[in-house]
Chains A and B, each alone.
Chain A
Amino acid sequence: MRKISLPAQLQDSRAQLVMASAFILFANLFFLLNPQSAIAFLLFMGSVLVLYKMPVPVHVKIFVAAVVLGVMMPLIGLENVYYLDVVTQVGIYVALAIGLNIVVGFAGLLDLGYVAFYASGAYLYAIFATSQASNFISWAHFPLSGMWFWPFLFLGLIVAAIFGVLLGFPVLRLRGDYLAIVTLGFGEIIRIVLNNLDKPVNITNGPKGLTPIQPPELFGLVLNQPIHYYYLVLIIIIVTLIVARRLDNSRIGRAWAAIREDELAARSMGIPLVRMKLLAFASGASFAGVMGVIFSAKQTFIDPSSFSFMESIGILAMVILGGMGSVAGAVIGAVAVVVLQLQVLKEFSDFLGQLSLKGIVTIPSQLDPAKYERLIFGAILVAMCVFRPKGLLPAKRQLALLKERVQKLKAKGETRGEDIDVA
């Protein structure tokens, strides 16, 4: 699928480069000039993918991405706050997908209760940043001030990691699909408990949810504007990306890959299975915990329905779509799924609504595409499994090894003066 760039193709790649840069420039300007247009927004999101695929050095990509995401998007956000919010939402899911990718992609442990860790972070902050905590703690004043948000980011990380270890410890001996079912059960238990823990002691306020959650504060500046959360999420994503990349390329990451490919072989090579799996669970969970804290601060209202099994499957669909084990894939998968959910489906259903309003065709209200996200997630999962189990952007580890071998074989063939056909 991927062409190895040979001198003869250099011209091609130069043309590609020009086309790609033109596309990115066009998409950005178009969106800046038409901040209300959904098509411009889609082109803009597409330009991020084009940038990733562009045959330019990494630091150039980083620079362009910094300009696009750090300057252009906020400028557009001045005109249309809605899209800034959508992009922030995309960002939260990007971080969640990267986190789940550590568990599912790197270590090969299917976690269907991932959203439980997200919920633990969200509820942790929400309980203490509303007056809810005074129901069971009398010696302090609640809600805590916005400055507490920052320590809570770390607390969320730690609490979620502890949950990850607590869940992981008993179940990690189980085989893949059993593990998946148990994590599903865990996720459901957490949701049911959150839903019902308003008695005997009111801790979570049950299905009514918690509100108003204190916005974070930074040196007296109250962070309650969409732009603040946009930058906050952007910074967190950068950190997550770096951490995930470093983990993947570390000794730990290689151990995870070994466990994923062949557990028995990994064990006989002296990899401590339980410790490595626990580490994967805990690090994946901690990402979700941090995002949970941010989510509850951003929404200012949370209830158990935000943490349903559906969410876990949505995040899983992002990881599978992008390619298990591929960090870039997780990013692309998250962008694609959230944009599909929030933008394409919504636009499509608005369009249908317009049509029936004008009386061109009558579309029953039951046929509202925005309501059929399960259908779409399901179709994505099946189609990816059947047609492209490695995802849109397959993980590089196997690919890199393969390339290296091809290069070596070629070099060998050249010294011997014969042609080796590597398909």
Chain B
Amino acid sequence: MQEFYHVLPQILVDGLTLGFVYAVVALGYTMVYGVLELINFAHSEVFMVGAFAGTEVLLFLQAMGYLQGLPAPVALLVALIIAMVLSGLLGVAIERIAYRPVRMAPRLVPFISAIGVSFFLQDAVRLVEGLWKNAFYLTAPTLFTSNIALSANLKLPVKSLIVILAAVVMMIGLHLFVTRSKWGKAMRAVAQDKPTSALMAINVDRVIALTFFIGAGLGGAAGTLFAAQYSLVHPYVGFILGIKAFTAAVLGGIGNIPGAMLGGVLLGLLESFGAAFLGVATNGAMGAEYKDVFAFVILIAVLIFKPSGLLGEAVREKI
């Protein structure tokens, strides 16, 4: 038990970093669910594409020799912006090809279509990377190596700090956009009632496309941050992370933007504490290999006991 307290601060830092990545990905799930009531299963792959795009940009900068000259935050910013735009466009394309034609179909049809897109993208990226680089595992160049020593046994890596900072900035930006701008207002209107907002001269299709662009862009940014933090990127990296981010969205209350942030951070903390605690509690017989189980158990428990999540309001099924 003594060691457990010893590593506690480190677990806190790890959990927070992971939690903010979850939170940014969860925003994409929550936004799309808000306007379409669709679980965008392909969002995890948008995240993965963003991770690849960001890594490729960083690798390109490195190969060109720019990476040494540029300050690391600027390089990361360039990678972030390119990855956001690319994955945002990908999100719009997915909506146009796979979701819009089935928008009026029974609920399960768009969802199955989303699963299809997700699987398609995993291998499509693998194919492209395989042909291009003859390998589909990429290692992102390290941008930040220094640590900030907070106390004797607590080191705060700068890269974790950057991830958290970038995530917070994006969340605040999104919140301002949704609550203050005209497009944000249109988005909220579409989420509430599509036919009525169409009557109010809101172009519903365009608002949905914009929602996908922003949601997917955030997913792509999260991918780049993930690559900068954990280095290794492969085509199947999105799947489990996507489900956890979805869990975070459900935990906070799906369709609710502050809820997604809260859920993400909470899930990240729960997961890293849970895994560490399980190891101590069972004397090392069980441990981190069960950390994915935590997320699933939390998901199932939330859906059963409080399907509206922590911040969401209970919605009654419309008859």
Task: Report which A residues bind B (CB closer than 8 A).
Answer: 108, 110, 112, 170-171, 173-178, 180-182, 184-186, 188-189, 192-193, 195-196, 199-200, 264, 309, 313, 316, 320, 364-367, 371-375, 377-383, 385-386, 389
Contacts and interface: CB of A to CB of B under 8 A. Distances in A.
Contacts of B240: 188
A395 B112 CA distance: 18
Contacts of A383: 116
B120 A385 contact: no
A192 B303 contact: no
30 contacts: A175-B317, A176-B107, A177-B39, A177-B107, A178-B39, A178-B303, A182-B299, A185-B243, A185-B300, A186-B300, A189-B293, A192-B289, A192-B290, A192-B292, A196-B289, A264-B319, A313-B115, A316-B115, A364-B134, A366-B136, A371-B123, A374-B122, A375-B119, A375-B123, A377-B119, A378-B118, A379-B116, A382-B116, A385-B98, A385-B112
B44 to A, nearest CB: 12
Interface of B: 38-39, 97-98, 101-102, 105, 107-113, 115-124, 126-127, 130-131, 134-136, 239-240, 243, 246, 250, 282, 285-286, 289-290, 292-293, 296-297, 299-300, 303-304, 307, 317, 319
B296 A374 contact: no
Contacts of A264: 319
Contact of A382 (B113, B131, B134): B113
Contact of A364 (B120, B130, B285): B130
B29 to A, nearest CB: 11
Interface of A is mostly: helix
A196 B300 contact: no
A228 B118 CA distance: 39
Contacts of A377: 116, 119
A381 B112 contact: yes
Contacts of A378: 115-123
Given A176-B107, A389-B102, A110 B112 contact: yes
Contacts of A171: 300, 303-304
Contact of A110 (B102, B111, B121, B293): B111
A385 B131 contact: no
B120 A320 contact: no
Contact of B299 (A108, A173, A185): A185
The 6 closest A-B pairs by CB, nearest first: A381-B116, A366-B130, A378-B120, A378-B119, A375-B123, A185-B296
A367 to B, nearest CB: 6
Contacts of A373: 123
A385 to B, nearest CB: 4
Nearest to A309: B239
Contacts of B107: 175-177
Nearest to A104: B108
A383 to B, nearest CB: 8
A182 B300 CA distance: 6
A189 B134 contact: no
A367 B303 CA distance: 41
B174 to A, nearest CB: 24
A181 B39 contact: yes
A264 B317 CA distance: 10
A192 to B, nearest CB: 5
Contacts of A170: 300, 304
A255 to B, nearest CB: 19
A104 to B, nearest CB: 8
Nearest to B292: A192
Given A189-B293, A385-B112, 18 more contacts: A174-B303, A174-B307, A177-B107, A178-B303, A182-B300, A185-B297, A199-B285, A199-B286, A264-B319, A316-B115, A320-B112, A364-B130, A381-B119, A382-B120, A385-B113, A385-B116, A386-B98, A386-B101
Contacts of A199: 285-286
